[in-house]
Amino acid sequence: MKSITRKSDEFLAIPMFLATVGMLTFFALTVQQYMSDADQSETLLLGFFWTTLAFFPVFWLEAVWYFWIDAPRRWRSLLTCVVPPLRLARRDMQSGTRMWLPILGWRHVDDDFHEEVDRALSVPMIIIAIAILPLLVVDYVWSAKMETSVLLRTIVETGFSVTWLAFTMEFIVMFSIVSKKIHYLKKHWVDLLIICLPLVAFLRVFRMTHLLRLQQVTKVTRVYRMRGLALRVWRALLAMDVISRLARVSPEAKIETLRQLIREKRREIEKMEEEITELQATLKTSDRPEKSAAAYSEGEAA
């Protein structure tokens, strides 16, 4: 019979996943609207921003529920109250060994699951990487035309927002699955910068301007320059990451990836062999007193 925690996990998996995607989407729209080179609509910007904040109570209510039913991993829900995007691929609240993802459903988190998700995400992420290249070219070559063409500017900026959303979702999912999280952060530091830079730039500029009206803010030279610098750095990082992703498709890169995987597996095997050796030594040590006691008993009997 399933516990109430497991039933809650299964019931909340889909709606909470959709809530997380919705929050990330509206945040991407908020940043796009705020960091746009064009004059912003204050009503639209505030609409996106307040809609993003409106998702927070959903995650708070979920945390309250898990504390109410005394779930074994209820304290983990507090993290998603502070950083809701981490709810996208959070492990179950019963044992922390299962995870729900669209199409795949509930699966046990292990190395096989990691490789399966990595393969499943590689194709759509390569497609997105290829699709973003024309947008980067348009943004660089036709930057002057984008200032006069609302349609062209909207297409390019929306493309960048979709790319940010895809990169963020992929990073959260893979980061939640891997066991060596520090190693993953070091290996994918460019992805982390691509995700965090718009957030940091938005919060930094928003802190400077929260006391002013938006129409007045857009005329402040310092804010405009900061926003433009953040955009240029972000797009440069994006171009670098896209090139890196496309390079991974080559047979040489695939061979190197497989060799690295073999090296990691060998290290794991070496660790297991060391544990076996230590256990065998422990068993031999524990057997000696028993043998001595048996020999002593035989001597007494004789």
Question: Is 80 exceeded by the pLDDT of residue 244?
Answer: no
Contact status, residue 171 vs residue 188, Cβ threshold 8 Å: yes
Q: Look at 167 and 292; give whichever has higher pLDDT.
A: 167
List the one residue out of 228, 229, 249, 231 whose CA is nearest residue 239. 231
- Please tell me whether residue 160 adopts helix, strand or coil conformation: helix
Question: Is 50 exceeded by the pLDDT of residue 223?
Answer: no
List the one residue out of 142, 25, 29 whose CA is nearest residue 84. 25
| Predicted pLDDT at 116 | 87
Q: Is this structure's pTM higher than 0.85?
A: no
Contact status, residue 190 vs residue 233, Cβ threshold 8 Å: no
Average pLDDT over the chain, rounded to an integer: 77
| Predicted pLDDT at 250 | 58
Per-range mean pLDDT, top range of 127-141, 176-190, 262-276: 176-190
Residue length of the chain: 302
Contact status, residue 117 vs residue 124, Cβ threshold 8 Å: no
* Domain assignments of the chain as residue spans, ordered by start: 4-249, 250-302
| Predicted pLDDT at 211 | 41
Q: How far apart are CA 145 and CA 200, in angstroms?
A: 28
| Predicted pLDDT at 13 | 94
**Average pLDDT, stretch 266-280?**
79
Largest CA distance in the chain: 108
Q: Look at 47 and 173; give whichever has higher pLDDT.
A: 173
